[in-house]
Structure 1
Amino acid sequence: MNFLFVADPLELFKIYKDTTFSMMREAQRRGHRIAACVPQDLNWQRGRPVTAVVREIVLGADKNAWFRTEATHEVALHEYDAVLMRKDPPFDAEYIYATHLLEQAEREGATVVNKPRALRDHPEKLAIMEFAEHTTPTLVTRSADAVRAFHAEHQDIILKPLDGMGGMGIFRVKADGLNLGSITETLNKNGAQTIMVQRFVPDIVKGDKRVLVIGGKPVPYSLARIPQGTEVRGNLAAGGLGVAQPLTKEDLAIAEAIGPVLAARGLLLIGLDVIGGSLTEINVTSPTCFQEITDQTGFDVPAMFIDALEASIKA
């Protein structure tokens, strides 16, 4: 099969931990051909299909030169067996425009994973609203008064922007309310932007667990991202320590409740963030942690993903 990965520039990959790289490596191991492009390479013109200027690549063993480009040319997306949208956030206007181009490619016969409409319909912070029974108390608002009332009720809270990634822009405010007004003004731009506020979950000290669900089925291990030192954020990008561990009963219950629902909507791969048995986010754009779980447990997450991808194409 031929796979096209729409991702960040290959030169920026950190292959020792990059999930997209692990997908590529497993696909090539099975004999599939690989191409890559960035969203900027997507084009549409009336009377023509959606195309991209792509790099046909082959992976090698050299960590410093881990791929070589065999050819660069313009290709219609529907000529690939699957197009994998793996662009990292931010989920901004350009990301949304890319999903519209990919959706047009779908109308022309392309298979796109994850499905572009589903990517738009499930923003990673707000998607939890549909599954509120699994979440910690949460508020979505522009109102500073609503934030103050939420803090008065719950005393210890987390505030975060809706478009953040990797722990960016996350603040904790304890019972003393220190700097609550200033933090709220900073995040909501004096009422111009919507933010999310959640009751602080003390079990964060045990890790912010990434639970992967592939084709509606949970990977049997999570990656608990444990905050270090005085840091409240467990995100690996914020210095958290990643520790793979078997799913708990609570993790499994959440994954089994949400996974099949979102898989049926075209989300082949999702990453659930779970703290202390509470769902905090649903990651759909480019969920990670394949390599960390595989390296620590021996469970081959990339193989599970490519199995599911191949099955979805043949279905």
Structure 2
Amino acid sequence: MKIAFHVDPIAKLKAYKDSSVAMMRAAQARGHQIFAIEPGGVFSSRGVVQAFAQPIAVSDDDHDWYELYEKATIPLNEFDAVIERKDPPFDMEYIYHTYLFERAADQGARVFNRPGAIRDNNEKMAILKHPDMIAATTVTRSTQVLRDFVHEYGDAIFKPLDGMGGSGIFHVRDGDKNLSVIIETLTRHGTQTIMAQRFLPEIVDGDKRILLIGGEVVPFALARIPMIGETRGNMAAGGRPEARPLTDSDRHIAETMAKRLWAEGLFLVGLDVIGSKVTEINVTSPTGFVEIKAQTGFDVAAMFIRNLESVLQS
């Protein structure tokens, strides 16, 4: 099969830890022809959505891991699958390219994740569709509502709706002398909506990333353990990754959410779970493949390609 990967610039990908690279290696190992499409490489001309696509060969050498071949203009519906793996920011440019991919899907392209589903599932806000799975949460730009929330629960986490990697996250407490300035800063004086969640003390045991692929659950979670004195487990914020078998609670959450999210056209999802609560639903470019394989031997990328083949052949 011909599989195209829409990714950030190839030269900037870190092969030793990048899940997109792991997918490419697994696809090539299964005998598929793979292509790279870099940002800005998708366009519509004469009613057809096309891409500047380059055949790519990959190796296991993390330093010299790829070779790109001559770029060609190829309609997206000529690929057997197009894998959306561009990282945020989820800005207007990102939204525009989901529109292009959506038109490509109308023309017969098989795009994973479904572009409209990515657009409709903000990675912070999407949890609100699953109230049975989450901790107490409010979304607002009202200073009073945020103050009342912190007073009710004592401890809370404030986060921007467009952040990633733990950026802009604050742990606040009732009576905190800096509460007003934190609210002013995050809401830009009441002009920008943010999320507040009840603080979950189970964060000391890790912020677990649970991966769902085509409605199936990866049997290991990647727990991100915060540094001492830190409340964020994100690896970008210094969290230590530790792969663990799913607990019974993890599996219940994952299997329930897998059915719901695959029904929306979300083939690959990364759930962020603290304790027994889902805190985020990652749908743009979930990671953790490499760390799980390195620590457990379970090949997540191979599972991804096998499940993709199954969907394409069904």
Indicate whether the TM-score tops 0.5: yes
Aligned match of 2:68: 69
| Residue 22 in structure 1 maps to residue 29 in structure 2 | no
Of all paired residues, the percent bearing the same amino acid is 51
Letter in 1 for 2:42: L
CA distance in 1, matches of 2:271, 2:61: 33
Cα deviation for residue 180 of structure 1 reads: 1.2
1:21 Cα deviation from its structure 2 partner: 0.5
1:61–1:212 CA distance, 2 compared to 1 (3 A): closer
Partner residue, 2:304: 305
RMSD, matched Cα: 1.0
Q: Report what 1:126 is aligned to.
A: 125
CA distance in 1, matches of 2:68, 2:114: 27
Q: Distance in 2 between matches of 1:60 and 1:157?
A: 45
Q: What's the secondary structure of 2:152's corresponding residue? A: helix
Q: Does 1:185 align with 2:184?
A: yes
Matched letter for residue 35 of structure 1 = F
TM-score, normalised via structure 1 length: 0.98
CA–CA separation in structure 2 for the residues paired with 1:302 and 1:102: 23
CA distance in 2, matches of 1:292, 1:280: 21
Q: Does 1:143 align with 2:142?
A: yes
TM-score by length of 2: 0.98
Matched residue SS, 2:68 = strand
Displacement after TM superposition at 1:194 (Å): 0.9
Corresponding letter in the other structure for 1:203: E
In the other structure, the counterpart of 2:160 is 161
Structure 2 contact 160–168 (Cα < 8 Å) conserved:
yes
1:40 aligned residue: 40
Q: Secondary structure at the match of 1:39?
A: coil
Secondary structure in 1 matching 2:48 = coil
Q: Is the 8 A contact 1:157 1:174 kept in 2?
A: yes
Superposed counterparts of 1:281-300, under 5 Å: 281-300=280-299
Distance 2:39 2:67 in 1: 20
User: Which amino acid in structure 2 is aligned with residue 8 of structure 1?
Assistant: D
User: What SS is found at the alignment partner of 1:40?
Assistant: coil
SS of residue in 2 equivalent to 1:101: helix
- Aligned-partner Cα distance in 1 for 2:143–2:253: 31
Structure 2 residue runs of 5 or longer lacking an equivalent are none
Q: How does 1:1-315 map to 2 (within 5 A)?
A: 1-45=1-45, 47-315=46-314
CA distance in 2: counterparts of 1:61 and 1:173, whole angstroms: 45
Please list every run of 5 or more consecutive structure 1 residues that lacks an aligned counterpart in the other structure.
Answer: none
Give secondary structure in 2 for the equivalent of 1:44: strand
CA contact (8 A) 1:39 1:98 kept: no
